A and B are shown apart, each in its own frame.
Chain A
């Protein structure tokens, strides 16, 4: 099945100079199947109109397309359609939560929002392996409210060090935000253990699911998280669209940060009332075509099966991991058994940028740099790394070409 579906992705036939393309940078952004690309044409040529306003037929069709997206996402990750909020990207989704809590801490949102209030003496807990998107907003929130920011450290094997979990997450902890899967190391974190601790102290759980939802079966209801964020573009969908998933009771109590049209019930010159979730977070014109395209992507993923995708990528990930570890002068970052098909590594004596440049000359696309996770790189004593990340369209040939090129890197730069 996986060898056939590769043909659904036209970009994979692109030539890079004289080489075929092996795209191993899906952790940064995924490629799109033809059906997702076609949805844009189909939407703009047949269904385009303003959603949730206007009584004409096109408006009804556009609105249906927009709302069908929520249903598809809810089918994929659990919960009901009104628990699915559209945002610009996952970063915005996480900011909507952090800034919403900030507003609540400064008196916005009335009595219902008081449950989110933070102040001096409270703590926010993150981990050392967070993407900057799930770190910087919490730093800002701590600064704004006087709360303390704490973090769970990372072990040499690239897993969360939970030995002091009960002291780091304690009775002062009001928010516990962590990633499901590390975007650098590929480590899958024990969400159940972390959620259980959060429940013991009454902390809100915010899950960064950007690297899990596209690659493995995930159900936010079963995981019992309060909020979760992920992006469309990493899951075969378009850029410009993210998802904030939340428990309805919480979404309806959280003060919105973006206000204006389409999110209000009554507006007077003095004040305004807001709609219920999800609309209360969707001020202004929304990316409707992107939602339609993402719906196609989600249905595509569901049809292939996230369990099968996970197994396929684990197989490729094992080939990558073993292959990289076997090349002299290369250190893999993190060695967790619990992982997706992502491998980050350091090439002794060759900077990641130069590694990436050489691989590109051989048609192999990987990510180089700090991958928006500077603290994690600092933890491993490097400023940058090279990362190969798989997706459902990758095959053994991609792995072979990557490993062959990687073995040539140190010799090219004059190292043994």
Chain B
């Protein structure tokens, strides 16, 4: 097995792709608090995700999603949900920015595990240009949904 394959499919990614955090029934507008949802599709492969996020009274976040896609995209959504449970809005926006930077680093950056948690395991993905979109699919949905939730919070 090539080293690149092992870097791409790290055990933590394979584990998240099977035991998915946040993969659950969506609540839609049944959510009382400020919330948003986003549907994202990767048109080249048909991978898709519907993700919703809710800002709690204490500034924490709930993330739920439903999707269909490759191990990279599904594991990424799972890792995102895990991180959202432990971070507030500002923290997640910081993580999102750092993850985005990591994915576009073409393998030159090593993810900071202190900040990125399991998402640091995706550093190997950045060497596979065709798979970067897979890793970012849920994060694009999250950013969009969070933006809506923040807008509804201000209203």
Contact = CB atoms under 8 A, between A and B. Distances in A.
A370 B70 CA distance: 13
B131 A374 contact: no
B16 to A, nearest CB: 13
Contact of A413 (B8, B45, B71): B71
Interface in B105-155: 128, 131, 134
B46 interface: yes
A240 to B, nearest CB: 21
Nearest to A349: B18
A369 B4 CA distance: 22
B82 interface: no
Given A352-B45, A353-B47, A369-B45, A361 B2 contact: yes
B46 A383 contact: yes
Contacts of A357: 5, 8-9, 128, 131
A17 interface: yes
A117 B6 CA distance: 59
Contact of B46 (A17, A354, A374, A412): A374
Contacts of A6: none
Contacts of B128: 357
A378 to B, nearest CB: 10
Interface residues of B, number: 22
Contacts of A353: 45, 47, 69-72, 131, 134
B43 to A, nearest CB: 9
A110 B37 CA distance: 51
B69 to A, nearest CB: 6
B32 interface: no
Nearest to A17: B2
B48 interface: yes
Interface string A371-383: 0001001000001
Contacts, number: 56
A369 B74 CA distance: 16
A370 B42 CA distance: 11
Given A351-B71, A353-B134, A384 B46 contact: yes
B14 A351 contact: no
Nearest to A355: B70
A351 B5 contact: no
A391 interface: no
A384 B45 contact: yes
A358 B134 contact: no
B14 A413 contact: yes
Contacts of A361: 1-2, 4-5
Given A352-B70, A353-B131, A357-B128, A383 B48 contact: yes
A186 to B, nearest CB: 20
Given A17-B2, A357-B128, A413-B14, A351 B70 contact: yes
Interface string A60-71: 000000000000
B69 A351 contact: yes
A357 B128 CA distance: 10
A256 B122 CA distance: 51
Give the interface SS of chain B, mostly helix, strand, loop or mixed.
Answer: mixed
A353 B17 CA distance: 13
Given A357-B8, A357-B128, A18 B2 contact: yes
A351 B45 CA distance: 10
Contacts of B131: 353, 357
A17 B127 CA distance: 14
A368 interface: yes
B2 A354 contact: no
A357 to B, nearest CB: 7
Given A353-B47, A369-B46, A370-B46, A383 B5 contact: no
Nearest to B44: A369
Interface in B74-95: 74
Contact of A358 (B5, B69, B72): B5
A17 B47 contact: no
A414 B48 CA distance: 24
A383 B70 contact: no
Interface in A361-416: 361, 368-370, 374, 377, 383-384, 412-414
Nearest to A353: B70
B101 interface: no
B2 to A, nearest CB: 5
Most B C-beta atoms less than 10 A away, residue of A354, A369, A374:
A354
A17 B3 CA distance: 11
Contacts of B14: 413-414
Given A17-B4, A361-B5, A414-B14, A377 B45 contact: no
Q: Sorted from nearest, which 5 A-B pairs have the closest CB atoms?
A: A353-B70, A351-B70, A369-B45, A370-B46, A383-B46
Given A353-B71, A357-B9, 19 more contacts: A17-B2, A18-B2, A351-B47, A353-B134, A354-B72, A357-B8, A357-B131, A361-B2, A361-B4, A361-B5, A368-B45, A369-B44, A369-B46, A370-B45, A377-B46, A383-B47, A384-B47, A412-B9, A413-B9
8 contacts: A17-B4, A18-B2, A351-B70, A351-B71, A357-B128, A361-B5, A369-B45, A383-B47
